[in-house]
């Protein structure tokens, strides 16, 4: 009965999309869905409306209210325009920045959005073609705009596209603006409410000045110019994986002083189909395969890959045997924070009010590095908008050093408010030069960090559950973990549980509860065991999956002990997974 009611609702909703208010192509696509005997695609396309999650609007492209198309993008843009006109009614001219990545339809969605903003009397600064997402954040701040959007689905498969909304500080929107924007979008009840007919006089194509200023400002973040000069010929392989990084990252590396940037020509080709990879995700070894092969062929020591919108970076370095290993997001985060704090200290820049930021699911070793060097560390929710929120809260109070997350995102500069693969690639290359200046490889530098601050191994496990039934299954899993909490992790007693949905922390031994100091609730559950093991569980805000983050710890006294510690950690993680049923 329930399924038949849902199908009836979906058909009613789909029939609205057959009116003359929609273009011919869309009407045909919807009719095809209605005519299909298998109703699954129809239901998936219309059973709900796309909503803002931790990364904004994101979904599979196609016809329907639950798909990315000019009408769902149009409704989001009209709703955002309506909200901006309310929030900034006193301004003589509201302005926004629009950028996009390499994905199919990204330029179309960007231009349609420009038309809608301009039709609402809002000035639009539109990038002439694809640009890294962090440059949109930079441009909002640089041009003094009230908002901005970027059409991107980051590292998702080619079927996806997305829509990130930014506020006037260059950060992605959070409460109350996110909910208020959604409320305005929901008021756009008909396609007739969307003003598609643009005003060309209010649309300005940006020139190369923003690019030049961005790179110039990024150069100010560098802390080891002499080391770069001495090791400017380090061989670095870089790949944009068909995405926006190709527009700026090679230029930025050369501007920093590196003279030996080696390309992967096949992956310099801009394409939303990502023809050389199954997934353009730098977290996955397969995405870096061609770059690593190029590094072996050319004798390079460092491989870097940015995702399609160039806000995340994956890296590979040579180990003690000269073999390439991929650094995971926690390792690059650890290396970045260690380097920045170390160099700030060496240069006499630490004055006692500095801070770093990490997400709650990222490695606890960051806390060790920060504490030992007298630097404040803030924990925040997953999603870079929360790191930006910490930056906002500490404005004119503390000095930002850097912040990042285990999902390969990092921000080294204060004048951007989103993760940035452009500066991260520059920083990683600089670290390689600085390590060489100290007689080390990047891998040996990582080993020495483990010796000094403790060894940890982190594994992320994603369990995919597609569609409406999958969402319900994920909800049931979270409910079960809350109602039947883990008592131990791989034989070590759980002593503390954090439930961010309730903002409560429970001390098991003392049977005491504390309130968690966070800006809002979030559907995240964390278990902490006596031996340092940490497990975090959260549904993804942008993909149909539930994520498990497992972190185990041990102490090593020399590089030579690392292999044994790693083997023991792998065994322990396997035990933890078994107890979690994953």
* pLDDT top residue among 299 and 542: 299
Mean pLDDT for 521-530 is: 96
Token pair 């999956």: residue: 545
Q: Which residue has the tokens 């990024």?
A: 218
Residue 56: pLDDT band (50, 70, 90) is low
- Structure confidence at residue 377 as a pLDDT band (50, 70, 90): very high
Structure confidence at residue 383 as a pLDDT band (50, 70, 90) = confident
**Whole-number Cα distances in Å, 477 to 484, 487, 513, 557, 566:** 10, 17, 23, 40, 30
Q: Which of 182, 180, 175, 177 is nearest to 518 (CA)?
A: 175
Mean pLDDT of 546-563: 97
214-453: CATH number: 3.40.120.10
Token pair of 373, please?
A: 């060097």
Pick the CATH number of 455-580 from 3.30.310, 2.60.120, 2.40.128, 3.30.465: 3.30.310
Position 433 scores a pLDDT of 98
By annotation, the residues acting in catalysis are 154
- pLDDT score of 430: 98
* Residue bearing the bigger pLDDT, 57 or 549: 549
Output the CA–CA distances (angstroms, integers) from residue 422 to 309, 523, 524, in the order listed: 10, 31, 30
Cα gap 545→89, rounded to integer Å: 40
Residue 2 has pLDDT above 60, yes or no: no
Average model confidence (pLDDT) across the chain = 95
Residue 21, pLDDT above cutoff 90:
yes
Q: Is 76 left (phi over 0), alpha (psi -120 to 50) or beta?
A: alpha
Q: Tell me the pLDDT tens digit for each residue of 210-254.
A: 999 999 999 999 999 999 999 999 999 999 999 999 999 999 999
What class, spelled out in words, does domain 69-207 have in CATH?
alpha beta
Residues 356-362: what's their mean pLDDT? 97
Q: What's the whole-number mean pLDDT along residues 377-384? A: 94
- pLDDT band for position 55 (cuts 50, 70, 90): low
Cβ(228)–Cβ(260) below 8 Å:
no
Q: What is the mean pLDDT of residues 88-101?
A: 98
CA–CA dist 179, 326 (Å, integer): 39
Band of residue 52 on the pLDDT scale cut at 50, 70, 90: low
pLDDT the model gives residue 467? 81
Give CA torsion, residues 207, 213, 218, 222, to 10 deg. 140
Q: What is the pLDDT of residue 469?
A: 84
Q: How far apart are CA 412 and CA 365, in angstroms?
A: 18
State yes or no: pLDDT of 435 exceeds 70: yes
Average pLDDT, stretch 504-509? 93
Residue 180 has pLDDT above 50, yes or no: yes
Residue 381: burial class (beta carbons within 10 Å; 0-12, 13-18, 19+)? buried
Give how far Cα 16 sits from Cα of 42, 47, 190, 191, 474, Å: 13, 14, 9, 10, 31
* pLDDT for res 471: 87
For the cut 80, the answer to whether the pLDDT of residue 451 exceeds it is yes
Which pLDDT does position 448 carry in this prediction?
98
- pLDDT at 1 > cutoff 50: no
d(CA 203, CA 31): 35
Q: Is the per-residue pLDDT at 465 higher than 70?
A: yes
- Whether residue 542 has pLDDT greater than 70: no
pLDDT over 70 at 53, yes or no: no
Stretch(es) of the chain classified as CATH 3.40.120.10? 69-207, 214-453
**Is residue 79 pLDDT above 50, yes or no?**
yes
> CATH 3.30.310 occupies which residues in the chain?
455-580
């Amino acid at each position: 009965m329930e399924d038949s009611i849902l199908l009836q609702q979906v058909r009613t909703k789909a029939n609205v999309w057959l009116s003359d208010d929609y273009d011919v192509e869309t009407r045909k696509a919807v009719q095809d869905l209605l005519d299909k005997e298998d109703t699954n695609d129809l239901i998936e396309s219309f059973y709900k409306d796309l909503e803002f999650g931790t990364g904004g609007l994101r979904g599979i492209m196609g016809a329907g209210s639950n798909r990315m198309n000019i009408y769902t993008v149009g409704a989001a843009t009209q709703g955002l325009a309506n909200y901006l006109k309310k929030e900034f009614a006193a301004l003589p001219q509201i302005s926004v920045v629009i950028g996009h990545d390499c994905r199919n339809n990204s330029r179309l969605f960007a231009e349609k959005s420009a038309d809608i903003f301009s039709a609402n009397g809002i000035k639009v600064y539109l990038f002439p073609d694809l640009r890294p997402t962090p440059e949109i954040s930079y441009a909002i701040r640089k041009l003094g705009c009230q908002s901005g959007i970027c059409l991107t689905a980051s590292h998702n498969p080619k079927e996806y596209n997305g829509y990130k909304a930014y506020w006037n500080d260059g950060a992605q929107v959070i409460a109350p603006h996110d909910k208020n924007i959604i409320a305005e979008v929901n008021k756009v009840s008909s396609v007739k409410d969307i003003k598609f007919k643009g005003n060309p006089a209010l649309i300005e194509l940006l020139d190369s000045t923003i690019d030049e200023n961005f790179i110039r400002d990024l150069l100010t973040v560098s802390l080891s110019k002499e080391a770069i000069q001495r090791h400017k010929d380090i061989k670095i392989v870089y790949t944009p994986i068909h995405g926006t990084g190709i527009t700026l990252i090679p230029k930025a590396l050369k501007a920093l002083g590196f003279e030996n940037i080696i390309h992967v020509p096949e992956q310099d080709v801009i394409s939303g189909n990502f023809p050389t990879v199954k997934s353009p995700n730098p977290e996955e070894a397969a995405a870096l395969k061609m770059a690593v092969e190029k590094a072996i062929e050319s004798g390079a020591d460092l491989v870097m890959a940015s995702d399609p919108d160039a806000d995340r970076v994956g890296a590979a370095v040579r180990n003690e045997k000269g073999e390439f290993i991929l650094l995971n997001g926690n390792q690059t985060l650890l290396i970045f924070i260690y380097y920045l704090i170390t160099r700030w200290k060496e240069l006499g820049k630490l004055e006692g009010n500095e801070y770093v930021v990490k997400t709650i699911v990222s490695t606890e070793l960051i806390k060790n590095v920060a504490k030992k060097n007298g630097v404040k560390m803030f924990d925040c929710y997953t999603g870079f908008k929360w790191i930006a929120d910490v930056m906002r809260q500490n404005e004119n109070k503390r000095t930002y050093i850097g912040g990042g997350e285990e999902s390969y995102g990092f921000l080294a500069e204060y004048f951007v408010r989103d993760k940035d693969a452009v500066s991260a690639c520059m920083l990683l290359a600089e670290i390689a030069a600085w390590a060489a200046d100290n007689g080390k490889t990047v891998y040996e530098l990582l080993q020495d960090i483990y010796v000094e601050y403790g060894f940890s191994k982190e594994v992320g496990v994603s369990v995919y559950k597609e569609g409406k039934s999958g969402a319900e299954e994920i909800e049931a899993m979270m409910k079960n973990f809350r109602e039947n909490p883990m008592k131990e992790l791989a034989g070590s007693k759980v002593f503390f549980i954090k439930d961010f949905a309730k903002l409560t922390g429970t001390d098991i031994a003392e049977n005491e509860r504390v309130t968690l100091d966070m800006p809002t609730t979030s559907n995240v559950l964390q278990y902490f065991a006596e031996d340092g093991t940490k497990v975090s569980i959260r549904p993804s805000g942008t993909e149909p999956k539930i994520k498990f983050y497992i972190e185990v710890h041990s102490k090593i006294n020399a590089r030579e002990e690392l292999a044994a510690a790693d083997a023991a950690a792998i065994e322990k993680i396997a035990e933890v997974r078994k107890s979690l049923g994953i």
